[in-house]
């Protein structure tokens, strides 16, 4: 591992302190990173050792695992798409437009990021089971309780603010000069958006999408409260871990956990590949 030491003259002006700091801080930083990595490796290795490779092969071969993985993947994908539909325009608006009461608006948009998912689940429960949403849903025949629709809704509610926030950061990183030049050359706003802003923000958008997806796939507290856990119907991976742990099915529990971590690692790897060195958050 190589550590790039930034020129620290400005931060530590005296020669004496600079020598001390250039030695200590990188060492401490590398130490912390190694420690974190070590913990992760130990966790994975510990779980693998607990399960054993033979058992792992058996449990990876069970159909139920892959049914649950698929349910997790498709619900998270649908809810991410819905989040994007709202999040990209909202993020653009927050980044470029002068909204009335900017601080209040930004705080309100950020609210669900801070709110515990369980509380979000409970609020949804209240909204969906009272007037007028209940009647609208009844009319449309739309069911949420004990239904995959509910999973998508919870994931959407939990991730949409998160998504908006990420998209805002993405658009903030695009220099408005390019848009101004495009407009001054006669391109309309939609054309500028389509041909200048979105292509420039593409990497940030894609990287954010993966993060939003991973967050959606990990959601379960809100699910537990709003949708309810029905086996074979709404048991996404994080929920399966809880359910099978209750049945002392430690084999599947460890396997699901490992698969969840693998999904998370894969999605984060995708962020690195897509995002390159650009700051996303």
∠157-122-161 over CA atoms, to 5°?
Answer: 20
Q: How far is the CB of 201 from other proteins (least distance, A)?
A: 11
> Is 76 in contact with 216 (CB distance < 8 Å)?
yes
Distances (CA, A) of 36 to 29, 180, 185: 11, 45, 51
State yes or no: residue 59 binds other proteins (CB under 8 A). yes
Nearest by Cα to 155 from 247, 68, 80: 80
| Pick 12 or 74: Cβ nearer other proteins | 74
Q: Which of 17, 19, 135, 146 binds other proteins (CB under 8 A)?
A: 146
Q: Which of 113, 145, 173, 270 binds other proteins (CB under 8 A)?
A: 145
Residue 278 DSSP label: -
State yes or no: residue 276 binds other proteins (CB under 8 A). no
Residue 214 DSSP label: H
Per-residue x/- marks for other proteins, 223-242, CB under 8 A? -x---xxxxxx---------
Q: Which long-range contacts (CB under 8 A, 24 or more apart) does 96-100 make?
A: 96/171, 96/176
Distance CA 179, CA 144 (A): 42
Cβ-proximal residues to 133 (8 Å cutoff; 6+ apart), any chain: 127
Nearest by Cα to 2 from 21, 24, 20, 29: 29
The region of 137-145, 211-219, 258-266, 272-280 touching other proteins under the rule CB under 8 A is 137-145
* # chain residues binding other proteins, by CB under 8 A: 51
State yes or no: residue 247 binds other proteins (CB under 8 A). yes
State yes or no: residue 129 binds other proteins (CB under 8 A). yes
State yes or no: residue 34 binds other proteins (CB under 8 A). no
Q: How far is the CB of 272 from other proteins (least distance, A)?
A: 22
Residue tagged 């993947």 (tokens): 73
Question: What does the CA dihedral 172, 266, 86, 238 come to, rounded to 10 degrees?
Answer: -130
State yes or no: residue 199 binds other proteins (CB under 8 A). yes
Distance CA 128, CA 41 (A): 43
The region of 3-11, 148-156, 215-223, 266-274 touching other proteins under the rule CB under 8 A is 148-156
Q: Which of 1, 6, 54, 101 binds other proteins (CB under 8 A)?
A: 54
State yes or no: residue 244 binds other proteins (CB under 8 A). yes
Q: Which of 148, 222, 238, 275 binds other proteins (CB under 8 A)?
A: 148
Residues contributing to the site for other proteins (CB under 8 A):
50-52, 54-55, 58-59, 62, 64, 74, 77-78, 81-82, 84-85, 125-126, 129, 141-143, 145-149, 152, 194-195, 198-199, 202, 224, 228-233, 243-252, 254
């Amino acid at each position: 591992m190589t550590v790039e030491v930034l020129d620290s003259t400005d931060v530590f002006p005296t020669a004496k302190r600079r020598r001390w700091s250039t030695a200590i801080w990188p060492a401490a930083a590398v130490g912390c990173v190694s420690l974190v990595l070590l913990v992760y490796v130990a966790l994975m290795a510990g779980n693998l050792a607990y399960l054993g490779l033979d058992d792992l092969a058996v449990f990876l071969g069970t159909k139920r695992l892959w049914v649950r993985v698929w349910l997790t993947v498709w619900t998270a994908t649908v809810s991410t798409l819905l989040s994007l539909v709202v999040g990209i325009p909202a993020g653009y608006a927050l980044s470029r437009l002068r909204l009335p009461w900017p601080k209040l608006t930004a705080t309100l948009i950020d609210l669900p990021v801070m709110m515990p998912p369980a509380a979000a689940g409970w609020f949804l429960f209240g909204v969906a089971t009272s007037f007028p949403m209940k009647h609208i849903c009844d009319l449309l025949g739309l069911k949420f309780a004990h239904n995959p629709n509910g999973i998508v809704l919870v994931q959407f509610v939990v991730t949409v603010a998160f998504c908006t926030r990420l998209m805002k950061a993405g658009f903030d990183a695009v220099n408005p000069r390019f848009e101004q030049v495009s407009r001054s050359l006669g391109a309309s706003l939609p054309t500028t958006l389509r041909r200048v802003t979105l292509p420039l923000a593409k990497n940030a958008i894609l990287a954010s999408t993966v993060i939003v997806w991973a967050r959606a796939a990990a959601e379960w507290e809100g699910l537990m409260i709003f949708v309810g856990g029905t086996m074979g119907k709404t048991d996404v991976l994080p929920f399966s871990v809880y359910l099978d742990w209750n049945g002392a099915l430690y084999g599947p529990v460890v396997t699901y956990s490992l698969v969840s971590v693998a999904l998370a690692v894969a999605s984060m790897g995708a962020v690195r590949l897509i995002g390159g060195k650009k700051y996303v958050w």
